[in-house]
Amino acid sequence: MCDHNDLSSPDRISVATGPRRVVYLLAAGGFFALGVAGILLPGLPTTPFLLLTSYFLLRSSPSLNERLTHSRFLGPILQDWHARRGVRQSVKLRAIALVVIMLAVTIYLGNMPAPLATVVLALGGVGLTVIALLPSISTTNNHAAVKTAAITDPVD
């Protein structure tokens, strides 16, 4: 169920129709494919592509965005972004570790010429930079706020 106070609520965003809707759906599909590819390929960051996917789905198919936002694997990243405009530090650290591991495996097993290996490392550096520059959110304060609310708010 959507929180109507959420900035990502379809009530506050006009949903495209006609050809614009088709273009937005195609863009969402393309960015989703890039995001999924980013899980496996070094240098291709996943989170920014998921955020773009959600952006275009909100404007073309709010129901698909709702499904994506509540998906088991990708949903928590999008929920954090929509609610708090950031990514959990643990998600960033795992993403950085995954990119570094994939870069190392690619370079080690790739048996590629030095210029191509340099390009792969440069693209990996771009991906790492994008991940590092995403705003971080703290989960520590959130748990304290939830505990305080549980103590002070009566249960229905």
- Dihedral sign of CA atoms 28, 34, 36, 38 in order: negative
In the predicted model, is pLDDT for residue 6 greater than 50?
A: no
Q: Determine the longest span between alpha carbons in the chain, in angstroms.
A: 66
Side-chain-side CA neighbours of 134 within 13 Å: the count stands at 31
Pairwise pLDDT comparison (77 vs 140), residue with the higher score? 77
3-class DSSP assignment, residue 14: coil
pLDDT band at 62 (very low <50, low <70, confident <90, very high): very high
> Percent of the chain beyond pLDDT 90?
24
pTM: 0.61
Average pLDDT of the chain is 79
Q: Quickly count helices (H) and strands (E) in the chain.
A: 7, 2
